[in-house]
């Protein structure tokens, strides 16, 4: 723990990011190129993400399963677009023990294949539908450039895979799960993400269409944070997933998949953290409150214990730092680790019937009565922090949101500052490709409910069809 | 769901087992040879196992992390014994995308290597110790013969890996975690397992010693269900894990590891289930109570809803089966799925102010007042079922526990019935090898606190040193 080692965010954003990851002990590089170790502080965030999302998935009728991690090459190849999309980044297992395998197996990059294969032998009638399965697991994509949480060869995720008797139901599921991701970002992660439709070029290989959740980082770079795919009957036809409908006629099922990953931890950091380390919204912080006794006077320790007991009972996660480090060291440690609220209890303050409470997000010091209702006080404070973090993130996002009417606008904007760029589009992939030449600027998503800002394409000037959000991405 | 398809247990135990796995929809074979799909009913049991064990691990100060799933060959080879032990059953990744890797990577069969590598660069001083890490993940071992849950190429597990400043502390950890596994089996799974020390021949590759938890299946075959290893400084020396002690002198750490797997689900089935399907102890049952309305009379449905509400509030997991299947079908389904308590509410019974409650373990039908305190009634019943399931399992274990004084005793016992066999041992591996020739009978563990039953070795007749539990294993 050494927050002196954190490069200022405004000086070098990329270095700042990896410094925060290291200083808050979230993750570290490993001896395996491109793979990270998720350390206790980072994994605790993932566990909290899992518990909140998993509860929501189950409330919506989903159940968890576990499909094999290995996929035979012939099975993978059944759906052509999927293979093409993933072939360059698949890891191949060729040997079991000292024996060459008859057929090589890939480490799942995603599991449409395995779920489709399973469903094809387990569905007979409309009575078996829908199947609303999800799994929490690891996947591998053989990325060339990697960065902790944002892009690593192995990462953790959840992948939901559902099949339905009707198109309507499957499309509703696709949308519903995107709404869950949006809710999770706005309400829990305090990230004002924007959702919409991916273009044909950017959609998932094999999908009819892809909905995406796009977050904007502090530096104006976009991070795709959750996607939900509607497959129609594509996989059903490739893997022969049929059911007898109410009229006892065989039909192909309608399918969806949707996923979020440990990458969201990277998003959390890049939206909220600062030069002093990690800053976490209270709803996702594994530890919400730290209580630090200054000195070891009995009165001090007694009050600390009382606070801890009362807060714990109210389901506020808190701990007392009674290690033998100095108070200053403990303050800095709690700060770099992003504990939302720090309560300092010292003898001198107690003599004046006060304690000090420090907000991590604003670093504001509050002096308050030592005999107040600690649960009420902290509850309000945590809510305030959560709300204000969202508002600050939204303000930052809005500051970094621009409008472009032609290519020069995009160039001017991106020469100055990355951000979300609103711009109309004719729908021609050639225009998308041309825009990408400007610093790799890509369509983030098509915004469906927004007003048009122009009637001509930002690139070619022809009639515009879509209101698109553009931006540079991680 | 078709419990007619279950082969009687006494007729063909192996077939009965796989029939129960299929009928209760716990797992199924997949298109990947030797790998299983864990289906919703099976995965829910694993989730409950995880939540109970994880809570206990955390109470004891452990935290979860995630190490990379891939291990470079050179790193794996640093600890010679470990490699030798695992080399025949490791899966090798040789290609990333279309490119041959410079060094091949193995899919973790266990993660001592990765934890040791991580610890070696993250430990400086005794102040950094102990490190009490655990991870929940998948591993691969390239088994030749596989069976759902008991032995499959991929399985799920938890692996704890801890390092300590002193031998004493590490040995205490090794024992403590074995005590956790024993507690979990006795108190939660209702399995009267026996714990002890593995012989040199049977211990984990690379360990100084291994403690093991041995369960006895209904057919008298033993199932190793959780092991805890003390490594001393073996890995520390191979991977250079050093720390400065209080005198500022460099020392190697003392290390442990301990694990349990999805195999425990197989143990649960083979200890408790019957010809009608799965039987689950209430404490591990994902759904403890099913409420089945007979008919759709409003009074009936109202009482069902009231029961559900009251039981749920008391943290008893229950659901109402209001599908459009017939009551008889619902009864059979609840039975095959092992729901511990079934409540049947019918109009005719209600007119007499009664309801029917059925225990899954004994299949006993109880008629009781419809206006009783349902929470109190069900709580007592669940406790009774839990206790009696343990007692029946213990009685069965004791019936299948034998004493042997010479090789002929072992032969006679095993020609008649598999089981736990108490027999003294001189400590010579030649005797172990010779005993194994009798139907593959192996030492399960050395019993440390038991009285000796003889003073001579069951095999060679020389002076005995150890009281050993022998048996055939899965």
| DSSP string computed for B428-471 | -HHHHHHHHTTTT-EEEEE-SSSPPS-SB-TTT-SB--EEEEEE
Burial class (CB in 10 A: 0-12, 13-18, 19+), A4: exposed
B11/chain A closest Cα distance in angstroms:
28
Does the ipTM surpass 0.90? yes
User: Given this structure, which CATH class describes domain B289-381?
Assistant: alpha beta
Residue B1 is predicted with a pLDDT of: 45
A91/chain B closest Cα distance in angstroms:
4
**Cis peptide leading into residue A418 (ω within 30°):** no
Whether B115 has its CB under 8 Å from any CB of chain A: the answer is: no
SS3 B408: helix
Q: Closest to A31 (Cβ–Cβ): which among B36, B72, B91?
A: B72
Residue B450 is predicted with a pLDDT of: 80
Residue A4 is predicted with a pLDDT of: 59
Give me the mean pLDDT over the B404-408 stretch.
Answer: 97
Pairing between β-strand B354-359 and β-strand B365-369 as defined by DSSP bridges: antiparallel
Nearest CA in chain A to B26: A65
Give me the mean pLDDT over the B43-71 stretch.
Answer: 98
SS3 B473: strand
- Residue A37 to residue B70, Cβ atoms within 8 A: no
B73/chain A closest Cα distance in angstroms:
10
| DSSP string computed for B321-344 | --SSS-HHHHHHHHHHTT-SEEEE
pLDDT in tens, B407-446: 999 999 999 999 999 999 999 999 999 999 999 999 999 9
DSSP character for A151? B
Give me the mean pLDDT over the A409-417 stretch.
Answer: 96
Contact B442, B436 (CB under 8 A): yes
What is the helix (H) or strand (E) element at residue A173, kind and residue range? helix A167-183
Most B CBs within 10 A among A58, A62, A69, hence the mutation to make, goes to A69
Q: How confident is the model at residue B80 (pLDDT cuts 50, 70, 90)?
A: confident
Gap between the Cα atoms of B421 and B454, Å rounded: 13
The full set of domain ranges for chain B reads: 3-272, 289-381, 401-471
Q: Which residues contact A437 (CB under 8 A, 6 or more apart)?
A: none
- CATH superfamily, domain at A3-272: Bira Bifunctional Protein; Domain 2 (3.30.930.10)
B227 beta partners: B212, B259
Residue A2 is predicted with a pLDDT of: 47
Instruction: Please give the CATH topology (third level) of the domain spanning A401-471.
Output: Translation Initiation Factor IF3 (3.30.110)
Residue A79 has pLDDT above 90, yes or no: no
Q: Closest to B94 (Cβ–Cβ): which among A31, A46, A95?
A: A95
Q: Closest to B32 (Cβ–Cβ): which among A70, A92, A98?
A: A70
Percent of chain A with pLDDT over 70: 99
Pairing between β-strand A420-425 and β-strand A466-471 as defined by DSSP bridges: antiparallel
CA dihedral A193, A474, A151, A26 (to 10 degrees): -60
Gap between the Cα atoms of B48 and A247, Å rounded: 40
Tokens matching residue A473:
């991405």
Most B CBs within 10 A among A87, A91, A132, A139, hence the mutation to make, goes to A91
Helix axes B374-399, B263-272, angle to 10 degrees: 90
Which one has a higher pLDDT value, A98 or B207?
B207
Which residues of chain B have a CB within 8 Å of the CB of A93? 91-94, 107
Residue A445 is predicted with a pLDDT of: 97
Residue B4 has pLDDT above 80, yes or no: no
pLDDT in tens, A151-177: 999 999 999 999 999 999 999 999 999
Contact A35, B68 (CB under 8 A): yes
- Residue A28 to residue B93, Cβ atoms within 8 A: no
Q: How confident is the model at residue B337 (pLDDT cuts 50, 70, 90)?
A: very high
| DSSP string computed for B4-30 | GGPPPTTT-HHHHHHHHHHHTT-EEE-
Q: Closest to A156 (Cβ–Cβ): which among B66, B96, B153?
A: B66
CATH 3.40.50.800 fits A289-384, yes or no: yes
Contact B178, B226 (CB under 8 A): yes
In chain B, which among 30-69 make CB contacts under 8 A with chain A? Answer: 30-32, 35-40, 43-44, 46-47, 63-69
Which residues of chain A have a CB within 8 Å of the CB of B61? none
Average model confidence (pLDDT) across chain A: 96
Gap between the Cα atoms of B470 and B454, Å rounded: 15
Which residues of chain B have a CB within 8 Å of the CB of A238? none
pLDDT in tens, B300-323: 999 999 999 999 999 999 999 999
- Residue B87 to residue A75, Cβ atoms within 8 A: no
DSSP character for A373? -
Q: Closest to B95 (Cβ–Cβ): which among A94, A97, A137?
A: A94
| DSSP string computed for A406-467 | SHHHHHHHHHH---EEEEEE-S-HHHHHHHHTTTT-EEEEE-SSSPPS-SB-TTT-SB--EE
pLDDT in tens, B368-391: 999 999 999 999 999 999 999 999
Nearest CA in chain A to B51: A51
Whether A97 has its CB under 8 Å from any CB of chain B: the answer is: yes
Nearest CA in chain A to B93: A93
Please give the model's pTM, rounded to 2 decimal places.
Answer: 0.97
Q: Given the structure tokens 């609303």, which residue do they identify?
A: A132
- Residue A40 to residue B90, Cβ atoms within 8 A: no
Q: How confident is the model at residue B290 (pLDDT cuts 50, 70, 90)?
A: very high
pLDDT in tens, A24-71: 999 999 989 899 999 999 999 999 999 999 999 999 999 999 999 999
A121/chain B closest Cα distance in angstroms:
10
Q: How confident is the model at residue A378 (pLDDT cuts 50, 70, 90)?
A: very high
Residue A73 is predicted with a pLDDT of: 93
Which residues of chain B have a CB within 8 Å of the CB of A30? 67-68, 114, 117-118
Most B CBs within 10 A among A1, A26, A32, hence the mutation to make, goes to A32
Q: Closest to B32 (Cβ–Cβ): which among A32, A72, A89?
A: A72
Most B CBs within 10 A among A96, A286, A333, hence the mutation to make, goes to A96
Residue A3 is predicted with a pLDDT of: 47
Q: How confident is the model at residue A266 (pLDDT cuts 50, 70, 90)?
A: very high
Give me the mean pLDDT over the B386-411 stretch.
Answer: 98
């Amino acid at each position: 723990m050494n927050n002196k080692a954190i490069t200022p965010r405004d000086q070098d954003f990329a270095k700042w990011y990896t410094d925060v990851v290291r200083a808050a002990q979230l993750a570290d590089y490993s001896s395996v190129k491109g793979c990270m170790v998720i350390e206790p502080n980072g994994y605790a965030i993932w566990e909290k993400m899992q518990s909140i999302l998993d509860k929501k998935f189950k409330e919506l009728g989903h159940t968890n399963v576990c499909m094999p991690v290995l996929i035979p090459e012939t099975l993978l190849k059944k759906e052509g677009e999927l293979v093409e999309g993933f072939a360059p980044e698949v890891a191949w297992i060729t040997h079991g023990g000292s024996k060459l395998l008859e057929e090589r197996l890939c480490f799942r990059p995603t599991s449409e294949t395995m779920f489709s294969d399973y469903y094809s032998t387990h569905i007979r009638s409309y009575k078996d539908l829908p199947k609303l399965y999800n799994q929490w697991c690891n996947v591998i994509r053989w990325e060339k450039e990697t960065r902790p949480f944002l892009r690593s060869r192995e990462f953790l995720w959840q992948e939901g895979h559902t099949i339905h008797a009707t198109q309507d139901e499957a499309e509703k599921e696709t949308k519903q799960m995107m709404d869950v991701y949006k809710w999770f970002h706005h309400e829990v992660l305090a990230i004002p993400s924007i959702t919409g439709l991916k273009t044909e070029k950017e959609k998932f290989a094999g999908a009819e269409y892809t909905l995406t959740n796009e977050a904007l980082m502090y530096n104006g770079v976009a991070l795709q944070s959750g996607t939900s795919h509607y497959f129609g009957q594509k996989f059903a036809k490739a893997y022969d997933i049929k059911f007898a409908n109410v009229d006892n006629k065989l039909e192909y099922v309608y399918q969806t998949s949707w996923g979020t990953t440990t990458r969201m931890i990277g998003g959390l950091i890049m939206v909220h953290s600062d030069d002093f380390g990690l800053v976490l919204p209270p709803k996702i912080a594994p530890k919400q409150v730290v209580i630090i006794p200054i000195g070891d006077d009995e009165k001090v320790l007694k009050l600390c214990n009382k606070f801890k007991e009362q807060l714990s009972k109210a389901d506020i996660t808190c701990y007392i730092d009674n290690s033998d480090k100095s108070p200053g060291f403990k303050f800095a440690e709690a700060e770099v680790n992003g504990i939302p609220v720090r309560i300092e209890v010292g003898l001198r303050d107690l003599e004046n019937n006060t304690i000090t409470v420090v907000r991590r997000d604003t670093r504001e010091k509050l002096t308050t009565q030592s005999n107040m209702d600690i649960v009420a006080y902290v509850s309000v404070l945590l809510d305030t922090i959560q709300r204000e973090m969202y508002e600050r993130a939204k303000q930052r996002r809005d500051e970094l949101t621009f409008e472009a009417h032609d290519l020069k606008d995009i160039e001017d904007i991106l020469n100055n500052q990355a951000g979300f760029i609103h711009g109309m589009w004719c729908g021609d992939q050639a225009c998308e490709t041309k825009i990408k030449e400007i610093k790799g600027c890509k369509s983030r998503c098509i915004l469906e409910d927004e007003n048009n800002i122009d009637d001509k394409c930002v690139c070619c000037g022809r009639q515009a069809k879509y209101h698109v959000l553009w931006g540079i991405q991680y």
